[in-house]
Amino acid sequence: MNHQALDGIMTPRSIAVIGASSTPGKIGYTVLSNLINQGYKGKIFPINPGAEEILGLKAYPSVLDVPEDIDAAVITIPAKIVIPAVEECGKKGVKGLVIITSGFSEVGKRELEEELVQKAHEYNMRILGPNIVGVLANSSGMNASFAPYLPLPGKASLVSQSGALLIAIDASTYVRGVGFDKLISIGNMSDLDFADIIEWLNDDPNTTAITLYIEGFKNGRRFMDVCRRTNKPIIALKAGVSSHGAAAAASHTGSLAGAAKVYGAAFQQAGVVQASDLDNLFDRTLALSLQPPMKGDNLLIITNGGGVGVLATDAAEKYGVPLKFAPAEVQEELKKHMPEFGSAKNPVDLTGMAGTEWYHNAIKFAYAHPWVDGLVVLYCETAVTDPMEIAQGIKSAIDNSGANGKPVTVSFVGGERSDKAMRWLVDHGIPAYGAPDRAVNAIAALNEYARNKTLLAEPITLCGGENRNEALQIIERARAEGRDSLTEIEAKQVFALYGLPVTKTLLAKTEDEAVSLAREIGYPVVMKIVSPDILHKSDAGGVKVNLKDEQSVREAFRTIMANAKAYKADARIHGIAIQEMAPWGTEVILGSVNDATFGPTMMFGLGGIFVEVLKDVTFRVAPVSTSQALRMLGEIRGAPILAGVRGEEPRDKRALAETICSYSTMILDLADEISESDANPVLVYAEGKGVKVVDARIILKKK
Ligand code: ADP
Ligand code: MG
């Protein structure tokens, strides 16, 4: 990609402000005065055809009149005159454009925005925006925005899709004590999007962690690729997680796949750590920007109070780093740094008697011990200890431990003196929080980051067949009949082409044919209505199971036909499917959606009729390898059911995971054709006995 253009925007040596103004209150005034007064060292050129001089700088009618090179142009003029200005920038050889102006796609003016991008690309320029606040960078003292001041300095950089939120975050950095080097507003993302900025920040020496506020974007696959290749922690808050588009979904999966779930899956697969809300985004950013990843799962908590210790223990379980007792030799040593009534288990309770020395010695030993992968230090303010002294003791213990490369987070609960001590800790590279669960959540983020990174290193092996041409033939036949869904029989044929184990299923047009096909398949059989107009067959009385002889097949044929007609008089009926009766097994659901952002995405959950109520499902962007699929099986609340409950044998997880893997190959291979699909239920048998898909549904993309 064009790094130069982005350098021009992020670290420009000279900036032109197009629309610079000497009238306070105008954006062109604010941007110019922010650049002049907040430490920017490069050259600044105000552009305004109606002025000789603005804020003490010589003004030029056009960038073309500026006698020197211009790296970045910050554009604040009205939307309708932006394109000619961009043309001039191109002729001048400007590298990058920061377009603050609004009034483009966000108000429906898509074509104007496209024209703008085209014009910029003609001259090899890239666009940040339009409709943005601007770019702020502490490392270069550059406030190229209309936000009032640079943020509290820090090591993370924030990319925000919301301008208003960026300004609010800017102010709140001082109150929260969480700093940033850069704040980058990306607005409409007409050209540069999250992926481009992340790619650039990965090489930015002033950024150690990348913080994202996301509302939604288009090219999810590219985002994932870039995040995977990034070697700095990325933390994201996705807004707008309430379910979208669920109302009209035709499949079970469609109604279960909210944006939150799919984004969540994609983040995990791309190694991106998620934040649950704005506070959490700051908390996790602080830890990820200051501390190394937590490479194992052994978390040790050291505290002077039982209460905060218990709260931290609860949080550890909640956030995925449950506490274990430290080995005996660790406990023995720790006992030396506490009174008789202390506890060397985990959490390690030094008791309210603990002064700086005990803290120091216990931390110094624990931090260096190979069993410990991460350390949380808790402190309750007491009458006999000085928070600042404790803070300094913590810092020197870590520094003198002889170890490094492990994370530590801290929580002080107390008053002003504790707050001050925590600020001191943060200034010295140790994240500190006002509540124990926040310190634990922060270290959990470092553990999540390390785990995600390990998963990324795992090769993705695909499974299943690839019979695209045959599958396309089946799909084309359905389309030729004007249908946008496949019948169960057709869907199962497509599934089978990709190696999914489906029940043998044949189509009977007449009662006599039903009898002969039943004999061919072997009793007992299942019979189901086959109609493009009846998607939920049971609802229409269209399913009869466990039919053991000719007599029952004949009766079922008549009943199903009658039921179908009663259900929907004008339903097109292809006939009745005769299929082998699969033995009982645990019912699960597999399904797919073609997500607008991330494309083909797999779902797995416990099946049966309550699936939409329980919503106990999990997602992965395709392709899904067998080992990834095995992890999906462990993610749902009902996971223990697959392990075998109440004396049942454990289920064949391996076969189920392979089926998920093959399914994911299918939806990827047929991404242009399939919009949604599901297999509900898939019956899962005891270990070694495999799985069986007994129902299948494929909804086609509209063409
Ligand atoms: P629909 O979901 O359209 O109502 P299904 O094909 O899923 O219809 O059938 C309804 C239920 O009948 C399934 O949930 C399953 O319990 C049972 N069933 C369907 N087909 C078979 C089969 N081939 N073997 C055993 N049970 C089946
Ligand atoms: Mg079904």
Return phi, psi of residue 536, to 5°: -100, 95
Residue nearest to atom 4 of ligand 1 (CA): 538
Residues with CB under 5 A from ligand 2 (ion): 680, 695
**The predicted structure's pLDDT at residue 543:** 97
Residue 243 has pLDDT above 70, yes or no: no
Q: Is the pLDDT of residue 4 over 50?
A: yes
- Ligand 1 pocket, residue 543 CB under 6 Å: yes
Q: Which residue among 521, 545, 697 has the greatest number of ligand 1 atoms within 8 angstroms of its CB, and so is best to mutate?
A: 545
579 Cα nearest atom in ligand 1: 23
Nearest CA to ligand 1 atom 5: 695
DSSP state of 81: G
CA distances from 77 to 51, 72, 109, 148 (A): 15, 15, 16, 19
What does the pLDDT look like over 142-164, one tens digit per residue?
Answer: 999 999 999 999 999 999 999 99
User: What residue has token string 């449950």?
Assistant: 322
- Spacing, Cα 679 to ligand 2 middle (Å): 7
Distance (Å) from CA 54 to ligand 1 centroid: 76
The pair of three-digit structure tokens given for residue 452, joined into one six-digit string: 């995600």
Q: Residue 74: beta bridge partners?
A: 17, 98
Tokens 């983040």, located at residue: 267
582-619: burial string, b at 16+ Cβ within 10 Å, e else: beebbbbbbbbbbbebbbbbbbbbbbeeebeeeebbbb
CB of 582 shorter than 6 A to ligand 1: yes
In 522-568, where does DSSP find H-type helix?
Answer: 550-567
Query: Ligand 1: does its nearest atom lie under 6 Å from the Cβ of 695?
Result: yes
The structure's pTM equals: 0.93
Whether pLDDT at 241 is above 90: no
pLDDT of residue 354: 87
Per-residue pLDDT band at 682 (split at 50, 70, 90): very high
- Helix 653-669 × helix 626-635 angle, to 10°: 110
pLDDT for 255: 64
Please give the pLDDT value at position 253. Answer: 63
Tokens 């090179």 — which residue?
69
Q: What is the atom index within ligand 1 of the atom nearest the CA of 609?
A: 14
Coil, strand, or helix at residue 57? strand
The arithmetic mean of pLDDT across residues 318-332, rounded, is: 95
C-alpha distances in Å from residue 553, one per residue of 467, 505, 521, 560, 572: 34, 15, 13, 10, 22
Six-digit token pair at 343? 């506890």
**Candidate from 527, 529, 538 with most ligand 1 atoms within 8 A of CB, to mutate:** 538
User: Quick check: do 3-288 and 586-700 share a fold?
Assistant: no
Instruction: Please compute the mean of the pLDDT values over residues 288-311 and round it to a whole number.
Output: 96
Question: What's the CA-to-centroid distance between 680 and ligand 2, angstroms?
Answer: 4
Instruction: Report the separation in Å between the CA atom of 482 and the middle of ligand 2, taken as the mean of its atom positions.
Output: 23
What pLDDT is attached to residue 258?
A: 67
Q: What is the pLDDT of residues 339-388, one digit of tens each?
A: 889 999 999 999 988 889 999 999 999 999 999 999 999 999 998 999 99
Q: Which residues neighbour 46 within 8 Å (Cβ) at sequence distance 6 or greater?
A: 16, 17, 20, 32, 54, 55, 57, 58, 59, 60
Atom number, ligand 1, closest to the C-alpha of residue 528: 6
The reported pLDDT for the residue numbered 249 is 47
Which CATH number does the domain 295-454 belong to among 3.40.50.300, 1.25.40.10, 3.40.50.261, 3.30.360.10? 3.40.50.261
pLDDT tens-digit series, residues 512-566? 999 999 999 999 999 999 999 998 899 999 999 999 999 999 999 999 999 999 9
Indicate whether residue 560 lines ligand 1 (CB < 6 A).
no
Instruction: Give the span between the Cα atoms of 44 and 99, in whole angstroms.
Output: 16
> What is the band of 402 on the pLDDT scale with cuts at 50, 70, 90?
very high
In this structure, which residue's CA is closest to atom 7 in ligand 1? 695
Q: What is the pLDDT of residues 653-678, one digit of tens each?
A: 999 999 999 999 999 999 999 999 99
681 touches ligand 1 (CB under 6 Å): yes
110-121: pLDDT as tens digits: 999 999 999 999
Q: Which of 148, 427, 470 lies closest to 290, judged by CA?
A: 427
Residue 413 C-alpha from the chain's centroid: 32
Test site for ligand 1: of 502, 526, 544, 684, most ligand atoms within 8 A of the Cβ: 526
Instruction: Using the mean position of ligand 1's atoms as its centre, give its distance from the Cα of residue 298 in Å.
Output: 46
- Please tell me the number of the ligand nearest to residue 534's CA: 1
Q: 330 in ligand 1 pocket by Cβ < 6 Å?
A: no
538 lines ligand 1 (CB under 6 A): yes
Residue 244 predicted with pLDDT over 60: no
pLDDT tens digits along 403-426: 999 999 999 999 999 999 999 999
pLDDT tens-digit series, residues 461-516: 888 777 899 999 999 999 999 999 999 999 999 999 999 999 999 999 999 999 99
Q: In angstroms, what is the span from residue 520 Cα to ligand 2's centroid? A: 24
Binding site membership of 694 for ligand 1 (Cβ less than 6 Å): yes
Domain 586-700 class, CATH top level: alpha beta
Out of 536, 580, 695, give the residue to mutate to test ligand 1, the one with the largest number of ligand atoms within 8 Å of its CB: 695
Q: Is the pLDDT of residue 251 over 90?
A: no
577 CA to centre of ligand 1 in angstroms:
12
Q: Is the CB of 581 under 6 A from ligand 1?
A: yes
By the 8 A CB rule, do 101 and 85 touch? Answer: no
3-state secondary structure 311-358: HHHHHHHHCCCCCCCCCHHHHHHHHCCCCCCCECCCCEECCCCCCHHH
Which residue has its alpha carbon closest to ligand 1 atom 17?
A: 545
Q: Judge if the beta carbon of residue 526 lies within 6 A of ligand 1.
A: yes
Establish whether residue 633 lines the binding site of ligand 1, counting it when its CB lies within 6 angstroms of any ligand atom.
no
Q: Rounded to an integer, what distance in angstroms lies between the CA atom of residue 192 and that of residue 184?
A: 11
Rounded to the nearest whole angstrom, what is the distance from the C-alpha of residue 536 to the centroid of ligand 1?
10
* 89-116 average pLDDT score: 96
Q: How far is the CA of 681 from the centre of ligand 2 (A)?
A: 6
- Measured from the CB, is residue 169 less than 6 Å from ligand 1? no
pLDDT score recorded for residue 216: 87
The residue whose CA has the least distance to atom 27 of ligand 1 is 694
Q: Is the CB of 540 inside a 6 Å radius of any atom of ligand 1?
A: no
Write the Ramachandran bin of 615: left for phi over 0, alpha for psi from -120 to 50, otherwise beta. left
Q: Can you say whether residue 143 is alpha, beta or left, with left for phi > 0 and alpha for psi between -120 and 50 degrees?
A: beta
Q: Which residues contact 473 (CB under 8 A, 6 or more apart)?
A: none
Topology at the third CATH level for domain 3-288: Rossmann fold (3.40.50)
pLDDT mean over 76-91? 97
Q: What is the DSSP string of 429-485?
A: T--EESSHHHHHHHHHHHHHHHHHHHHHHS-----S---HHHHHHHHHHHHHTT-SE
Output the CA 536–ligand 2 centroid distance in Å. 7
Specify whether domain 467-580 bears CATH 3.30.1490.20: yes
Dist. CA 98–CA 14, nearest whole Å: 13
Ligand 1 close to Cβ of residue 579 (< 6 A):
yes
In percent, how much of the chain has pLDDT > 70?
97
| 45-83 per-position pLDDT tens digit | 999 999 999 999 999 999 999 999 999 999 999 999 999
Q: How many CB atoms are located within 10 Å of the residue 7 CB?
A: 18
Ligand 1 pocket test, candidate residues 533, 543, 588, 610, most atoms within 8 A of CB: 543
Atom of ligand 1 lying closest to residue 536 CA: 3
pLDDT of residue 504: 95
Ligand nearest to the CA of 589: 2
Q: What is the DSSP letter of 582?
A: P
In percent, the amount of the chain with pLDDT more than 90 equals 88
Domain map (residue ranges) of the chain? 3-288, 295-454, 467-580, 586-700
The model's confidence at residue 246, banded by pLDDT at 50, 70 and 90, is very low
